Amino acid sequence: MIQKTMKKIALIYSFRSNKTAAVAKKIKSLWEDKIHELDIETLTVEQFVEFENYILGVPTWFDGELPSYWDEFVPAMEDMDLTGRKFAIFGNGDQVNYPENFGDAVGIMAEIIESLGGTIIGYTSSKGYVFEKSQSLVGERFCGLLLDFENQPKQNEERVVSWIESLKKEFQ
Amino acid sequence: MILRKNLPFGIKQTDKVTLLHWYRLMAIGRTIDERAPNYLKQAIGWSYHAPYAGHDGIQLAIGQVFEKNKDHLFPYYRDMLTVISAGMTAEEIILNGISKATDPSSGGRHMSNHFAKPEWNIHNVSSCTGNHAQHAVGTARAMKYYNGGGVVISSQGESSLSEGYVYEAINGASNEQLPVIFVIQDNGYGISVPKHEQTANRRVADNFSGFKNLRIFHCNGKDVFDSMNTMFDAKRWVLENQKPAIVQANCVRIHSHSNSDRHELYRSDAELSYVAEYDPLAKYRRMLLRYNRATIDELNAIDEEVKQLIKDAHKKALAAPDPDPKSIMNFVVPESYSVELYPEGIHNGQGETKKLIEAINETLKAEFRLNPDTFLWGQDVANKEKGGIFNVTKGMQKEFGRQRVFNAPIAEDYIVGTANGMSRYSDKIRIVVEGAEFADYFWPAMEQLVDSSHDYWRSNGKFSPNIVIRLASGGYIGGGLYHSQNIEGALITLPGIRIVYPSFADDAAGLLRVAMRSRGITMFLEPKALYNDPRSATHVPIDFEVPFGKARIRREGSDLTIITYGNTTHLCLEAARQLHESHKIDSEIIDLRSLNPLDYNTITRSIVKTNKVLIMHEDKVFGGVGGEISAYIAENLFNHLDAPIMRVGATFTPVGFNRILEKAILPDTEKIAKKIVELFNY
């Protein structure tokens, strides 16, 4: 069992995913000593509450929905008090084909977490993205890291590296 | 934000019995959905199957919020789980799928996957995607008028929102503030056409966001609880506010559009895998287990029970009788009102005469006084002293009120479509619509007319739209292409509707009365040039009735027969009069009055007597009703003919606006007289 005192960061995503898993792999490589990976598809409440710091991989599905595996975990989360816990969220979206709901799932998850008392960190600039609407947009910033494998794949590396650098400070 | 645990339905708060009941319904639906293609492979039937997998959440929810015999439900061809959730059995679904005589939807007459149970207000609908949205609005109008206390649910795919008639329906529901829920099951495709090629807005329901009185809900149609909560909320809102709502449910289409589609031709492996990940049933099952609301043994037991249930249903359905080929003529047109006072539609009354327009107006009023379940609408028909472009309905709104007599938007399809829908609420309702300002403008309504003409037959006699469609028809007014034409040549091709076209005031009154008392659809074509013409004025007995399919001899003669109707009856009478004086030609003139059904007996009797026949109508000769009558005569009365069947009518052109052109195109007394002489001398 991982102890809270270790201040490990739970990196939670679907192990069956492709793009999200690729990002997770990159994050893990950048922050090897702090990251503990968990599969959302088999995640239990007991595992979840062991941590205080989280990085969540939440891609946007269809016209702005949570992936099923996250959606199925929400009722469990709703019984938790997330006060004092920090969450950074990343997710894939598609600005060109889904400009009306680019990266919505990141925003949806952030809203759920905040309504349960959790703190969202890891905001990023929306500069360099072109879209119409996004539930992840707070002012001019995204409440997480949005990646676009379909249309801006070359920027993923730099965006992830930069985001992890900032998280290293924010998770202190 | 409202936490899910605080909503009416959720994995934690919904009771176990309900959760397992839903699982069972979903398992029944999915098992049949997956087995349906086998029937086609084994050549048993079900040649059209539109699989619903991926729509499970919203379809379960629609069926669960539907209260049979109180609400009305218009499912579309993908709504298998919807109707199962509403209470239809596996056996009923299979009976429909393999088109058996006991199929509750249509007795095997309508296409497979068109599920219905009219006895419960689950309506039999067209294959034209979403055209039942107009029926739903019409039903909701009746629901509101009669204080039925329910809602009307129109379920359809997102591509149907590209159809103009769906726009008309939503606009009408918004304007009339009617209790309709339009459920848009959005799976991103219209067959192979992706959503972005249908409309610019991915959230297609938001195209209607500017409509007043309309609330738009969005939900995840793949998720049972989000769908249940949204449908529950939408129904509550609609009932409380008596206004319409749209529920856009995001779904995925896990399989092809239907078994005539191959989605692998246009969807990538990645996409197919992605939508399979979304499988709502698998998600629901996972959640039941994850949250310990059911054990795997309990779910497996349900799966086994469902397998057996469907096996039994399959056996029973296979053993059910096939439709009898001898039954094809059943339920084409409902029985008409039984005329007893004037069985031949002839009277000997004398006294004050009425103009044709007065006869129609007074008959409408008389029938409205007699029957409180009568309604009238159309464009321009009810505004203070005005009652239609020709004032035929003058005074009706004043006497019968705005709820029974009202203006319709300029949307001909909506006028007819909502008449169909209102009829569905109760068989006692009788509706008169002015189908268009002029018959020439009726074409946009042909979609609903054609569909309505199918209804009685398609539902195996379970539903009859009871509508009189009035249309000001014909020329001789200098009206040109959109104010002077006749459309009966096109209408006559449609089984399932009656067509009448009177020439005189008394016949107009008698036919209208019988039409308004009958079940079924009657096209009531009014020769507008005669509305105020003294030639068409007659005495009109206050109780006069003219049965359908009874022609009237307007002039007896022995030399030749002229078969006609509408405006040209008067031209024929004048030509006959002139030729009797000048050439001693004794013409017999048959005023058909009904074009469908036709009075073959009167035609036969006259031709047997005169041996020569001229068919005369204002509509085009080519493609006109006269062609069908000619064919009948040639086939059945050939031995009685001493001359070729001759015809006079309009040229095969539109009707020109300039009076010189109109005269050249339409028949007149001179042209008729010339033909009579030719026939007489043959």
pLDDT of B340:
95
Using the CB atoms, write b or e for B547-565: b if 16+ within 10 Å: bbbbbbebbebebbbbbbb
| Residue B132 annotated as catalytic | no
H/E stretch holding B478: none
Contact assignment for B203 to A78 by CB distance below 8 Å: no
Residue of B220, B225, B252, B285 best to disrupt the A interface, most CBs of A under 10 A: B220
pLDDT digits 0-9 by tens, B150-179:
999 999 999 999 999 999 999 999 999 999
The active-site residue out of B263, B347, B483, B617 is B483
Q: Is the dihedral of CA B233, B235, B240, B246 positive or negative?
A: positive
Q: What is the pTM of this model?
A: 0.96
Q: Is the pLDDT of residue B221 over 60?
A: yes
Provide mean pLDDT across the span B372-377: 98
Angle formed by the axes of helices B567-583 and B669-681, nearest 10° = 50
Using the CB atoms, write b or e for B575-604: b if 16+ within 10 Å: bbebbeeeeebbbbbbbbbbbbebbeebbe
Residue of B268, B277, B291, B293 best to disrupt the A interface, most CBs of A under 10 A: B277
Of A62, A68, A75, the CB nearest to B291: A75
Domain regions of chain A by residue span: 9-170
Q: How confident is the model at residue B389 (pLDDT cuts 50, 70, 90)?
A: confident
pLDDT of B1:
85
pLDDT digits 0-9 by tens, A47-105:
999 999 999 999 999 899 999 999 999 999 999 999 999 999 999 999 999 999 999 99
CATH domain A9-170 topology: Rossmann fold (3.40.50)
pLDDT of A145:
98
Q: Is the dihedral of CA B55, B56, B57, B63 positive or negative?
A: positive
Helix, strand or coil, per DSSP, at residue B256: coil
Of A65, A79, A115, the CB nearest to B250: A65
Residue entry with tokens 């042209």:
B671
Q: How confident is the model at residue A6 (pLDDT cuts 50, 70, 90)?
A: very low
| B200 and chain A in contact, CB less than 8 A | no
| B610 and chain A in contact, CB less than 8 A | no
- Return phi, psi of residue B406, to 5°: -155, 160
Average pLDDT, chain B: 97
Contact assignment for A75 to B11 by CB distance below 8 Å: yes
Where do the H-state alpha helices sit in A90-151? 104-115
Provide the token pair at B448: 């609903």
Q: In angstroms, what separates the C-alpha of B224 from chain A's closest C-alpha? A: 11
Query: Percentage of chain B surpassing pLDDT 90?
Result: 97
